[in-house]
């Protein structure tokens, strides 16, 4: 069996950290990315490794390679990016899943889908468990991502049932860390960049809506464990940090850690923005022996340092 591991979206924030981990384990890694939201800078340090190969490719087109495992992470993951071209976002999730599943079927590879907590929409159940079907607006401005990822999950389970394909599905909750895009519109990167620039920090709504924040190293650990788990564990499995913080708490923490004098300003809540989001990670704990170890404070330190370096290089 071919032991090359393919990571689609491998030059992105999460994908590049996963590539780091796999190369460190001396796995042969094929990183595939069309560089729409990914960046060569995220993988530049890996290009000289004998275990790493980069291929520029868009997963909405078929790919003919020989691999043993596929981590399918390809898709813009922040509202700013996935709403930029919503039709292409849906294509990336749906056509991308079809193409990668077809490849996995042809070469007999095990394949993992990076799904998302967005499949739960604006949840009416809290915290969210994997058996909750969600509360999604199918025609809203976030639907290209939410419904695209839901359809991808459908395809994964149908390939599993119809073709006995070995699949793994993880639902990723908010993740942060170095290599996040400074302009991705996500709350952690937004707050840090605004604080470091001394700009007003923008809080939508009253700031009481909550999110859970998982440091990227913790997330990579559970993704790797999921891929290596028994074939009977298909998922979906929630992965993320169940610690819950309001937007106000996050903003105040970042202000304190950066020493910024930025003011907090409040703006109307965007359409279909979930009011609360927290994973129930019972399955990840019991089946994978995993729970996050990095506290918000400890994870924010290297993240703030990364953004400080990015902003300094732009001066």
> Greatest CA separation found in the chain?
58
Q: Give catalytic status of residue 71 as yes or no.
A: no
Contacts of 255 (CB under 8 A, 6+ apart): 195, 201, 262
CB burial string 8-26: b at 16+ within 10 A, e below: bbbbbbbbbbbbbbbbeee
Q: Which of 71, 82, 120, 145 is catalytic?
A: 145
267 DSSP β-pair partners = 204
Active site (catalytic) residues:
145
């Amino acid at each position: 069996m071919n032991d090359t591991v393919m990571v689609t979206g491998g030059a992105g924030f999460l994908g590049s950290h996963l590539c780091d981990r796999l190369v460190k384990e001396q796995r042969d890694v094929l990183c595939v990315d069309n560089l729409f939201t990914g960046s060569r800078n995220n993988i530049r340090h890996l290009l000289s490794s004998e275990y790493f190969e980069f291929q520029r490719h868009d997963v909405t087109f078929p790919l003919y390679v020989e691999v043993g495992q596929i981590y399918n992470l390809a898709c813009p993951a922040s509202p700013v990016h996935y709403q930029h071209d919503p039709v292409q976002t849906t294509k990336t999730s749906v056509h991308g899943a079809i193409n990668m599943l077809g490849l996995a079927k042809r070469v007999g590879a095990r394949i993992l889908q990076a799904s998302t907590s967005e499949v739960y929409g604006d949840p009416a159940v809290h915290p969210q468990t994997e058996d909750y079907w969600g509360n999604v607006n199918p025609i809203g401005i976030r639907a290209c991502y939410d419904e695209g990822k839901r359809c991808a999950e459908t395809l994964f389970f149908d390939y599993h049932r119809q073709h006995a394909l070995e699949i793994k599905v993880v639902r990723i909750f908010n993740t942060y860390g170095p290599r996040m895009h400074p302009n991705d519109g996500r709350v952690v990167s937004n707050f840090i960049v605004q604080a470091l620039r001394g700009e007003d920090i923008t809080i939508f709504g009253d700031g009481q809506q909550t999110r859970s924040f998982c440091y990227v190293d913790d997330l990579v650990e559970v993704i790797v464990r999921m891929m290596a788990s028994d074939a009977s564990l298909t998922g979906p499995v929630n992965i993320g940090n169940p610690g819950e913080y309001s937007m106000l708490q996050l903003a105040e923490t970042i202000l304190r850690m950066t020493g910024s004098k930025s003011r907090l300003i409040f703006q109307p809540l965007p359409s279909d923005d979930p009011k609360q989001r927290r994973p129930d990670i019972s399955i990840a704990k019991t089946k994978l022996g995993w729970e996050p170890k990095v506290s918000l404070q400890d994870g924010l330190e290297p993240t703030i340092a990364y953004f400080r370096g990015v902003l300094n290089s732009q001066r």
